[in-house]
Structure 1
């Protein structure tokens, strides 16, 4: 398998090599002992339909039609697909477990985009639970990504307790909003631009362009596969209720499109003045576009509530409405991150303050554990060096798992919080340090270094 240089953007050659790479031999052998066949699935092959049906079943969806299989096949060529098969079962061509992954990019503090392995479609049939299948698949995919030189893996999850054992951590929370429009009352800026309805096909063209312009501004965002834009815009011909979606664009005074939103309206039949708007996607390149689009949605006629999800935990919208209690905001875990290469991952991001830290990292999969010296200069750039056996450094020392280090990676989880929760041990510098530092100050120092000034955000599920 081709090794990816983490200092550059992964290209199509890298992505193709990753898709074509073999399954992990250690996981293959482990599953074979139980009579299970662990193999890759080609998007254009005969196995794809059975693989997709197993994914649908795993997420409690209905059986896919031939048309839906064809549409999914057309949009899935970017993914590396793997299945676990039980030849003794009555339907041998349908996998009992599935996983998908692909090379993407993750925006990190400071605006850099790091090559990352996005993982999705993780399912295990209830008939094959507690046989180590999920463990073999996830560990296998992480080892494959690590072997390819990918510094970070990431996923969004349906069941949050499952992934910590593999080193993943919730690194970016997502906020869901329910807004009572009559109570909210807009007090934000009055945007000077123009709002217009546009067809779904037009907004499908706009969304990836706008997202590409803004994704480097906020840690946690990723490159979005094309099929996701079809889902948001309602241009996937096999999607349910796609024609219910409406789209608007915001143009500035020069006529440049700076934002767009896709939403649906659900009527309340016993009172037509109390409809509900669901915002499927909103992207804004400028503050004016942000204000203009949100004001439009909150002031729609015959609407009592506006619902939106995958928002940031520090949305400016909260300060654009007169009654903040009109918004019910629910925060939960969303983007999970797993560092696979400590040096490459940390040197790719910027940090909140200058300082020196020793990171004593444990890794349950033994992919990237060890002792590292992180030195951050006044610009926020960090250099990382692997420490030799027995080498001592006078610096604040953190003893933590790869899960905890991954939690801090996007700047959304404070080191101080993890230390208070007993997840990180923080020791002050040795007595040989020039300045004496107690544990409280050591925790504060580590927190400042690993922090970032804005909360991370991921605006999609994948």
Structure 2
């Protein structure tokens, strides 16, 4: 499926005008210009409290930036070659939906505002500008992963794809799972990125919430970028099934624990497209010689790990938010996914930015296919803000939980029907940052 190139969408004029009144220029950055590109990348590193990037790091990361729509905010009172005081970039990527289909999502990244320019409406201009750009391009959903979880709800984003963080005491946990047919073998680092990318691209279609990766992301996991302080520690293995096909890849680092001659294994990424692949790679990690602790993040909530070990109390699981979504076009978004139960309900949606505002009749048939129509002359059976709808969208957040928190308003029976329809199987997942 072909998606639009976000680089062809102009800077949002509303944000241009708002920031111009405060002496700030909001504009797209030309990555064909070496000076502009380097300045922008340095501003991103500064915004995320990173070290000053080397020439090697700038060169390695430039290709990724160049494929995206990069927007910067510039202070007119600054020097001619001053870094932008704020950044954001975006691109349209396939988002896997409940049911296995995919939809173009406006992915948003590198949102930064310099500490010298806070409280000047810049973040609002950045986020609302991205949403208006996405809507103008006909993209029905936006998404991001966040470093600060309290910012994005005000723009209609909802935490939609939760993730699990595991910590395993391997001596206590042991292993009780099956031993899959096939084999696990080491992969040289120069081949690791390609293996990761290939398996991830096949595996991502199995779970709602996943997006497509990119070469820079796989290079980063594989430790082949010059800016990776742990690159020399990176190791990788792959799982081949009984027929010899590669079905899973594990990338990890090892760190000695306080001079004990025992180590902690940190999973960078574990990707498996079959249950055997996931089990085989977990077994490799948990039973690794001289390893007392295994940690892994961004795992799906239905990950089998706690059920693969002999003592589940040797596995600590922490659930946290990860993937955030924002519905812009209710009709296009809901009709693109599949649902788990029939439903006929009028949903009243409050959206301060107006994109999803209104009353919507959602009719879902026995096949899980939705028909959506605007019915502004009709009362709502259930009411919610657009952030709550966005949290429900991928099927990983329960309507009952949002109802209990006062974020969905309606009677218990209607909320239960909503719950049964929106929930997705298997559990949604997002195993990368973007």
Q: Give TM-score, length-normalised by structure 1.
A: 0.91
Contact 1:235 1:242 in 2 (8 A): yes
**2:16 is the alignment partner of 1:31:** no
Displacement of 1:92 in angstroms is 4.7
Partner of 1:10 in structure 2?
A: 2
Question: Structure 1: how far apart are the matches of 2:313 and 2:326?
Answer: 36
Q: Please, which of 406, 411, 415 is the counterpart of residue 443 of structure 1?
A: 415
Displacement of 1:43 in angstroms is 2.1
Residues 357-395 of structure 1: per-residue CA shift (max 9 Å, x gap): 1111111111221111110000111111122x4246xxx
Contact 1:47 1:93 in 2 (8 A): no
Q: Please, which of 349, 373, 381 is the counterpart of residue 361 of structure 1?
A: 349
Question: Structure 2: how far apart are the matches of 1:103 and 1:94?
Answer: 26
Partner of 2:377 in structure 1?
A: 390
Runs (4 or more) in structure 1 with deviation over 4 Å come to none
Question: Structure 1: how far apart are the matches of 2:99 and 2:138?
Answer: 22
**2:275 is the alignment partner of 1:305:** no
Q: Please, which of 81, 85, 89 is the counterpart of residue 96 of structure 1?
A: 85
Question: Structure 2: how far apart are the matches of 1:288 and 1:455?
Answer: 18
Following superposition of structure 1 onto structure 2, how do residues 54-93 of structure 1 map, counting pairs within 5 Å? 54-90=43-79, 92-93=81-82
Partner of 1:452 in structure 2?
A: 424
- In structure 1, runs of 5+ residues without a counterpart are 1-8, 427-438
**2:206 is the alignment partner of 1:217:** yes
Question: Structure 2: how far apart are the matches of 1:334 and 1:266?
Answer: 26
Following superposition of structure 1 onto structure 2, how do residues 135-150 of structure 1 map, counting pairs within 5 Å? 135-150=124-139
Q: Please, which of 168, 171, 174 is the counterpart of residue 185 of structure 1?
A: 174
Question: Structure 2: how far apart are the matches of 1:141 and 1:307?
Answer: 35
Contact 1:85 1:92 in 2 (8 A): no
Contact 2:70 2:88 in 1 (8 A): yes
Question: Structure 2: how far apart are the matches of 1:386 and 1:127?
Answer: 45
Residues 328-368 of structure 1: per-residue CA shift (max 9 Å, x gap): 11111100000011000000111121120111111111122
Displacement of 1:269 in angstroms is 4.7
Q: Please, which of 331, 339, 345 is the counterpart of residue 333 of structure 2?
A: 345
Question: Structure 2: how far apart are the matches of 1:442 and 1:255?
Answer: 49
Q: Please, which of 405, 416, 420 is the counterpart of residue 389 of structure 2?
A: 405
Q: Please, which of 110, 114, 120 is the counterpart of residue 103 of structure 2?
A: 114
Question: Structure 2: how far apart are the matches of 1:172 and 1:126?
Answer: 30
Partner of 2:250 in structure 1?
A: 261
Displacement of 1:27 in angstroms is 0.5
How many equivalent residue pairs?
433
